[in-house]
Amino acid sequence: MAFLDINHLEKSFGAVHVVKDFNLAIDKGEFVSFLGPSGCGKTTVLRMVAGFETPSSGSIRINGQDVTNLRPNQRNIGMVFQAYALFPNLTVAQNIGFGLRVAGKPRAEIDDRVADMLKLIGLPGLDERYPFQLSGGQQQRVALARALAAKPRVLLLDEPLSALDAKIRVNLREEIRLIQRELGITTIFVTHDQEEALSMSDRVVVMHQGIADQVGTPFEIYNRPATRFVAQFVGTLNLIGASVIDAKAGKIKVGDVPVALNRALPITADGKVSLALRPETVSLGRHEGRNVVLSGRIAEVHFLGSVIRVRVQVGGEFVSLDTFNRPDAPPPEVGSTVQISVSERDLLTLAA
């Protein structure tokens, strides 16, 4: 049985249905991200798990216990928010020990725990500082320590990195994951940043208009998107129109080029399908094993450093591809005629 089990969760605010039949089973120690655009319902699900919001229907169980109707302080859950939300008039040590003090723990136990937490977050020696004397990244570490001090069963993180600078975000991302692994704490992390979700998570839930479109490992979400929304929201994607010649046998035509996909295709009213492909699966020129070859003209070249992103016009469509930067070779030139190649295995046909 899953450690955290969310069943048929629904939430409406008045007439607005913001969470629809949300189901998720999270294992003990797992790190799961909710990824989706603003307003898709991520925070609302998180707040229902925390107990700050009451579900319209459905249930939430932690370690077999039905917590759906328990108050937040009865659930033993730790939470970190986007805004640092530290008590400004309390020192770092007092902030971290706050929950333990409220719970009436003895002084010595609180002091020990605060010292352990300061070590865990890499800030020993800062215990007497006040929040205004800390950087944003340090404040979020203290918020994390405060959430973890009472040894919660579940850790909920609501966009905890979004107010921080890019570099600190990346460092803290790694630190959070290390701490989470060390403690083995079951964690839900809400973000609208796909890189954060893909790089940190055991599994990602991609949410769209209140629905979990897909639940999978970062690898599955990126390489086998279940819906067009997932494919477009996560990573860069080319969408190319194709005509279906034989849906059952998987035969299509991209422009004039016949392509055998060797898989059954959805039958569409207009005889067209959309093919999706990632820029890194397309090569400039012919390449062994990349058996679908198309001709086009380079429309744009973007030098990004380690890779060069090239946009090629193929008939009426544009295909973006990534090619590695090679300091000894001239970069591709806008206007030149090229061939591009891709393996038929990397052409995804998308539902919805």
Task: Report the interface residues with ligand ATP, using CB under 6 A.
Answer: 13, 16, 18, 36, 38-44, 192
Cα–chain center distance at 254: 32
Within 10 Å of residue 328's Cβ, how many Cβ atoms? 4
Give the sign of the dihedral formed by CA 232, CA 237, CA 241, CA 242.
Answer: negative
| CA-based nearest residue to 141, from 127, 162, 154, 122 | 122
Give least dist CB 37 to ligand ATP, A.
7
CB nearer to ligand ATP: pick between 162 and 223: 162
Which stretches does DSSP call E strand in 74-119? 77-80
CB nearer to ligand ATP: pick between 13 and 303: 13
CB nearer to ligand ATP: pick between 16 and 108: 16
Q: Which amino acid is at 188?
A: I
Q: Which amino acid is at 126?
A: L
Give the sign of the dihedral formed by CA 334, CA 339, CA 345, CA 349.
Answer: positive
| CA-based nearest residue to 57, from 8, 91, 106, 22 | 8
CB nearer to ligand ATP: pick between 18 and 275: 18
CB nearer to ligand ATP: pick between 18 and 319: 18
Residues 6+ away with beta carbon under 8 Å from 192: 35, 36, 37, 38, 42, 159, 162
CB nearer to ligand ATP: pick between 13 and 87: 13
Give least dist CB 18 to ligand ATP, A.
4
Give least dist CB 129 to ligand ATP, A.
30
Give least dist CB 53 to ligand ATP, A.
7
CB nearer to ligand ATP: pick between 39 and 88: 39
Structure token digits, residue 217? 């490992």
Give least dist CB 192 to ligand ATP, A.
5
Give least dist CB 32 to ligand ATP, A.
15
Radius of gyration (Cα) for the chain, nearest Å?
A: 25
CA distance 209 to 202: 23
Give the sign of the dihedral formed by CA 114, CA 119, CA 125, CA 131.
Answer: negative
CB nearer to ligand ATP: pick between 39 and 258: 39
Give least dist CB 200 to ligand ATP, A.
17
Give least dist CB 253 to ligand ATP, A.
40
CB nearer to ligand ATP: pick between 113 and 208: 208
Q: Residue of minimal CB distance from ligand ATP?
A: 43
Q: Helices 136-149 and 92-102: crossing angle, nearest 10°? A: 20
Strands 307-314 and 292-303: antiparallel
Contact between 146 and 95 under an 8 Å Cβ cutoff? The reply is yes
Give the sign of the dihedral formed by CA 51, CA 23, CA 175, CA 306.
Answer: negative
Give least dist CB 44 to ligand ATP, A.
3
